[in-house]
Structures are given as structure tokens and as C-alpha cells.
Amino acid sequence: MTINLKNFLSDKSKMSKMGEFQDLKPLDGLEVSSISADLYNNGRDDLALFYFKEGANYASLTTSSTIVSETILWNEKSNKKVIKGLLVNTKNANTFTGQQGYEGIETVAKNLAKTLTLRESKKQGGISETIKIKDLIFASTGVIGEKFPDSKISERLEDLVSKLRDDQNKLIWIKTASAIMTTDTKPKLAYEEFTFNNKIIRIAAVAKGSGMIAPNLATMLSFIFTDADIPSNLLKTLLKKAVANTFNAITIDSDQSTNDMVSIFSTRKIKIGYNRGISDPVIQKFEASLKKVCMNLAKQIVVDGEGAKKFLTVRVINAKSLLSAKKIAFSISSSPLVKTAIAGEDPNWGRIVMGIGKSGEKVDKNKISIKFGDFLVAEKGSPSENLDFDKINEYMRWDSILIEIDLNLGTDKFECYTCDFTHDYIDINADYKNST
């Protein structure tokens, strides 16, 4: 897809080429590495390790699917608020793998804990703190229902640990973000910082996601890191708020994964005062920066939707409630008919009307107005008069399209993000097991 992420996300350009990634700065208390365990049989990096030598406060949100991966089950049973490390594997989802999948994670955890403990002992010239298996959490993404490759992963842990670095530069961040990709065509990174009491507080993040994307996260993994000393319970609250209108406001194909996970980690290096609440000025600054990071990554996921050529924003305004606005927005944005019309550059607002109706929400059709960009195509239940089809058709050739629905029933609004459906989406998913 040919959208300049840097410009696109700041709304400066809608038709430019792919730009450069943000500069992500090193985060004190975090070490990262990535290698190939040959899970893809092509040598690409497929394992990523995030290590917190002094521990990190941790909070996570996961899929609402009734079937979840053995990896997520491991994390939930661990039930820790402070961890030492996160290991991510691609190619294999470790879902529907039964006892073998769970025991496989346990095996990897034992080997990783041992390897990290030995590493610290060597660095300190003697006995150090023993890292326990419950100090480690995991994330998996890839094909569902295939045996978990715990042996392949375990064989590469020594090399993975030996490559840990605390001087993360742009290249290292890009390499690490690339290691967690599946059908993604681009690594996804985001960074924000702000100043508090002459201290720079940093938030750095990576994500993956391209298909099987629907609300309640998506088939996505996202890992967010900060040096601000924020307790786990407050991190969880802030993460929930940030996700609501970002990661939970996107859809590619309305399919929800078994492996969705977005996590936030605090290395606790920048002390801000531990008793601060949600309304505290520094926490509000942090919340605003966190939301920017999540929105940046969420839009990058949509831009990189499987086979996508166009980015679509569906905005519902003046609804009777937030829930109503959200239901209608997703009813439209998840419609294959709408998404294929966008792919064909067809301003078929009849499909928008269909999407409103199938949502099940009570509306007054005689009050509804529909706009494509700045062009009013329908007003008060009827097509607009004096439509300039040449200009509308020109607008539909843009890479980024906005559809706005004014219900004229209230004051609530919701905005969600999706992409078009192209032949490439079918090609990718018709042979997914072999293409990842």
C-alpha cells in the first residue's frame, strides 16, 4: 500500500508515498533481541525477546474470543503484575494445540528462565537472582491448529539471549518489529515523549496485524514500553481507555483472532510519584501520549491490511448514543459490499444506507445525510441535488477515503477505520498456511 504513514497520520497528505519510520529512542531498563528459529524455513527473524533485568510493571488486554491460545492461558495463569521478560514467536499461533501446546510453553519458559539466569550470573561473576518461569510471559501469532514448535524455539534461546541489547536504535526497533510480523508487509512502530519535572518520559511501541482484524482488539499483537514508574493497576486502566477508540476501532475483515494481545510495560526508571491517580496532570499527559501511540499503530495496521489499497474512515455523528454510533459505524465498515465498492472506486452510497439499516439501530431515514469527503451525496433520506460526479469520482481515487453519516438524532459520535477488499486479500488467505 502506498501511503506515507508519517504524513498520513498527521493529515498532511493523502496521496504520497511511503515515508520513514519514527525514531524510537532507547528505553532505560529494556533490552531487546530478535533471531530466526527457522519457523518459516526461510531464515527470516521469527522470535523476539523483550527483557527487563530489574523487572517491569505489566498490564495486558487480550481477545474476547471464547477460544484462546495456550500462550494466553499461560499468561493468565501466571497472574503476575511484575515480570522479567516477554518472548514472542510468529508462524505458529499455539491455538487448538491442547496439552502439547501448553506444555510446550512451559518447556520454553523453563529453558528461557535458565538461559537468562546463566547470563546474569556470568555478567555478575557469580550467583545472581534466579529467574523463575512465572516471571516470563509469551505471545504467539500465526497458523491455528498446528503443533507448537517448542523444540525449535528452545534450541535458539541461547543465541537470542546473547544478542540482547539495551541501546535500541531505529534499526534495532525495526528489526524487532519485523520479527513479530506474519502477513504484514511493513513493521509497525510508534513513539511519543513528554517532559515532567525536567524529566523526559518515553513511550515506545511495536505492533503486528494485517488480517483477521475486528474489534475487541484484532489479530494483532502490540507491545508498549515506558520508563514512567506507573503501577500495574493504573497501567491497566490507562490501557483500557486508550484501546477503546484505537485498537478497538479498527476492522479489516470482521474476523476476530484467538491470539489478540496488547500489553504495556513500565521499567519504573522515571519516578513520578506512586500515589498519582487518573486525574493527576502527569497521568493525564501520559494518557494523551499513550492514546497517540495506540492510534498511530492502529492506523498502521489498517493501512497494511491484507491486500489493501485504500484506507477508509467511517464517521457517524449526531447519534442518539455512543453505542448506537459504534454499531452503525462497524456495520458499514465491516460490510464486504462497502469495502469492495471502495476498492472499485465506486461512490455507491446505497451500500452505506444498507449498512445503516442492517445495524438494527432505530434511525429516521428522513434525517440522514451522507458525505463522501466534502461531497454531500445524500440528504434527508434522498440523493442530493446537483451532484458533481466528476469531482466525486476523482475523490474516490484517493488512497484515503472518509465517509461521514449524520443521523441528526443526538450528540454522540464514533469513528472507526478499515480498508478496502481487493483480489489480493483472497489470494493471501486462500493459501495462508503456505504464505506465512
Angle at 283 between CA 232 and CA 215, to 5 degrees: 65
Q: Residue for cell digits 476498492? A: 343
219 given a catalytic annotation: yes
Cβ contact 343:420 at 8 Å: yes
- The overall longest dimension of the chain from CA atoms, in Å, is 81
Catalytic residue among 62, 90, 95, 219: 219
Residue type, 192: E
Q: Which residues are identified as catalytic? A: 219
